[in-house]
Amino acid sequence: MFFVPEIIEKKKRGLKLSKEEIEFIVNGYVDGSIPDYQVSALLMAIYFKGMDEEETTNLTMAMAHSGEMVDLSAIKGIKVDKHSTGGIADTTTLVLLPLASSVGVKVAKMSGRGLGHTGGTVDKLESIPGFRCELDGKDFIDAANSIGAAITGQSKNLVPADKMLYALRDVTATVDSIPLIASSIMSKKIAGGADKIILDVKFGSGAFMKNYDDALKLGSLMVKIGGLAGRETVAYITDMDQPLGLAIGNSIEVIEAAETLKGRGNEDLLSLCLEFASEMMVLAEIESDKEKAIERLKASIDAGEALKKFKEIIANQGGNPEVLEDYSLLPKAKYELEVVAPTDGFVKQIDAIRLGITSMKIGAGRQKKDDVIDPAVGIWIYKKVGDKVTKGEAFAKILANDEEKLHWAAEESKAAFEFSREPIARRKVIWAKITKDGVHEL
């Protein structure tokens, strides 16, 4: 039998906790036998003294096993999951799901709803009339086997320890601890049942991790945790100092995904999706050569197979696939207002977090868990860092259902863009790839 104050004292002195001590704390907190105030003290001790890789892996596994463990063994083939640490205009999953499955990757994905400035994949898909994200286990597995792809909301019984610990971290100023972040993310991925995992670790003004070095530490730790837990894991360090795509919202991100699958999408978004999808093909042992994998993916887009797969996924989950051809079938905002450049020049910088928060405040996101999403509203951006603008040219468009919010959002969006008279270099999207063999800077 363990004594909680002794465990807190041990970590306070920077000593290593055993697997049994960590399991005792996690299980006791979930069953209510260990109170908030003691776990808060331990979280603060971890925040200041850290955890080594073995401790973090043990914490991850204890959290993963605190609730339901999803069994995907009934799905034929190697299952590869992708997780993003969150960003602005991150429409990756909407493109990646049909793109990867169109070339034979089995994608059975559990996704969450948005909270704060980062959008939720489930919210985006539910802007499609009739689309159903709440699938039971049998329907989820049947869809993955029959059409190669399925997406569902996260089970309420999945990793209850993470929900409880995250809520406590949020009110005790212990959110930004790399071991605690890593265990939170990886516990959900491991409980989700995938055989192999791709992580998109974003850094920059619009991301949780603000600088490259911290993103590298987090990515490296999660790759090691995945390996120790028996799940091959690959992490990418990607840019979020500006929005990834051009759409920040829900129905408009469905439009951007459709445009990307038609071969007309934003280059940054497309390049990231091609990299992830080709990596999924290699991990799933569908293709051994990355260049050949990318060629097959481009061919799938050119032949319309990727778009056809997206329609199939939508129809299979109760939605109207015609939205991908007729965008007027999606929710449409009452008001639109374009934001124009004050001068000739080049886009020097975009405050991604400001745009994300602005979009959230006009209704595209949630400030509180019980807020209702407005699927029609959001922000289109027409220019990214390095793009040329002329005075009076529109560089963004606001979509809103409230006229006052429309004009407020236009001013906020204008302030989020900084211009230069001198040419500015474009930002690269992928900075590094981390595998079990180490960091490969790109």
Q: Which residues form the catalytic set?
A: 83, 162, 169, 184, 188
* CA 419/CA 131 separation, integer angstroms: 40
* CA 382/CA 262 separation, integer angstroms: 18
Query: Smallest Cα–Cα separation from 113: which of 14, 250, 236?
Result: 250
Secondary structure class of 262 (helix, strand, coil): coil
Query: Smallest Cα–Cα separation from 125: which of 136, 117, 138, 113?
Result: 113
Per DSSP bridges, beta strands 149-153 and 107-111 are: parallel
* CA 382/CA 245 separation, integer angstroms: 10
Per DSSP bridges, beta strands 196-203 and 80-84 are: parallel
State the number of CA atoms in the 13 A half-sphere of 371 facing the CB: 18
In the block, which residue shows the tokens 């991908």? Answer: 324
Most distant pair of Cα atoms in the chain: their distance: 72
Whether residue 66 contacts residue 30, with contact meaning beta carbons closer than 8 Å, is answered with: yes
Residue 257 CB neighbour total at 10 angstroms: 29
Residue 263 CB neighbour total at 10 angstroms: 13
CA dihedral 67, 69, 70, 72 (to 10 degrees): 180
Secondary structure class of 38 (helix, strand, coil): helix
